[in-house]
Amino acid sequence: MRHLRSICAFVMVLGFAACSGSGGGGGGTRPPLPIITTSPATLSFAQNGQVQTFTASGATGITATSSNTAVATVAAGSTAGSFSVTAVGSGTATVTATASGATSASVGVTVTNTNLQPQGVK
């Protein structure tokens, strides 16, 4: 009977060790998140209506949004990870590319409208 108790105690210790630490389901480290990168890092526009593209890679299902749609809008491009940015007003905006379960990356956008004449000038 004493031998049986020793075996039971040993099995209980093994069971606890298997369920804790990084080897079991009770903890450990998470795998790193996929890292999204963008290229180029900035876009500059001289006037409204101009369109430029950027690419985002590193994850699947990437979407992009503009922080200021009065300055720049963004739409999905013709290929996965490609996005078109359209200048719509003077100022700055940040276009952020994101995907579920991944980091995000940003593209700085500046619209200067240097080709526009001041109002009242003909």
Domain CATH number, residue 72? 2.60.40.1080
How sure is the predictor about 104, in pLDDT bands with cuts at 50, 70 and 90? very high
How do residues 34-55 score in pLDDT, each as one tens digit? 999 999 999 999 999 999 999 9
Same domain, 52 and 4: no
Give whichever of 68-72, 99-103, 118-122 has the largest mean pLDDT: 68-72
Answer whether 0.85 is exceeded by the pTM: no
DSSP single-letter state for residue 80: T
Same domain, 61 and 84: yes
Range of the domain at 2: 1-28
Strands (E) in 21-104, as ranges, are 37-39, 42-45, 51-57, 63-66, 72-76, 82-87, 91-98
Domain count, the chain: 2
How sure is the predictor about 15, in pLDDT bands with cuts at 50, 70 and 90? very low
Same domain, 66 and 21: no
Same domain, 24 and 41: no
Same domain, 53 and 86: yes
Provide the pLDDT for residue 119.
Answer: 59
DSSP single-letter state for residue 34: P
